[in-house]
């Protein structure tokens, strides 16, 4: 989807430089959002944040397919860059929290990550 949106931005702007400018702006907002996320994230709000992030991404996704114009492309990019990074950060936090509990922390921490990466890469090779 990111490639399609980038092609839409190039189509609407007719210039690769403007695509780079917009991407830089989106990245700046991502950095600011991740700073605020790190500062204010609390474990007890995780489910609400996940739900709101998923809804925001879904609404922007439907909006860009409902009507493709400059506003929906920019809105989709802002929402995607910000909320996808929040979702990915929460996923990484959960991964490391899970690996630091129970038998994984004391005895099988290295094995946990080795097998996780092994099966992820097998799935990628098999395209599952």
Three-state secondary structure readout of 49-73 = HHHHHHHHHHHHHHHHHHCCCHHHH
The pLDDT of residue 28 is 93
Within 10 A of 77 (CB to CB), how many other CB atoms are there?
22
Q: pLDDT tens for residues 11-31? A: 877 777 887 888 899 889 999
Question: What is the number of H-type helices and E-type strands within the chain?
Answer: 6, 0
Q: Tell if the pTM clears 0.75, that is, is over it.
A: no
Higher pLDDT, 94 or 51: 51
Q: pLDDT tens for residues 66-109? A: 888 888 888 888 998 899 999 999 988 887 777 777 776 677 77
């Amino acid at each position: 989807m990111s490639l399609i949106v980038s092609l839409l931005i190039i189509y609407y702007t007719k210039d690769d430089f403007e695509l780079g400018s917009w991407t830089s702006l989106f990245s700046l907002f991502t950095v600011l959002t991740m700073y605020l996320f790190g500062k204010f994230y609390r474990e007890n709000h995780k489910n609400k944040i996940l739900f709101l992030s998923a809804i925001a991404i879904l609404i922007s996704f439907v909006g860009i397919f409902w009507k493709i114009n400059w506003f929906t492309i920019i809105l989709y990019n802002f929402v995607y860059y910000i909320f996808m990074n929040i979702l990915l950060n929460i996923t990484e936090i959960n991964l490391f929290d899970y690996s630091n509990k129970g038998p994984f922390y004391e005895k099988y921490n290295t094995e946990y990550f080795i097998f996780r990466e092994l099966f992820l890469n097998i799935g990628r090779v098999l395209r599952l």
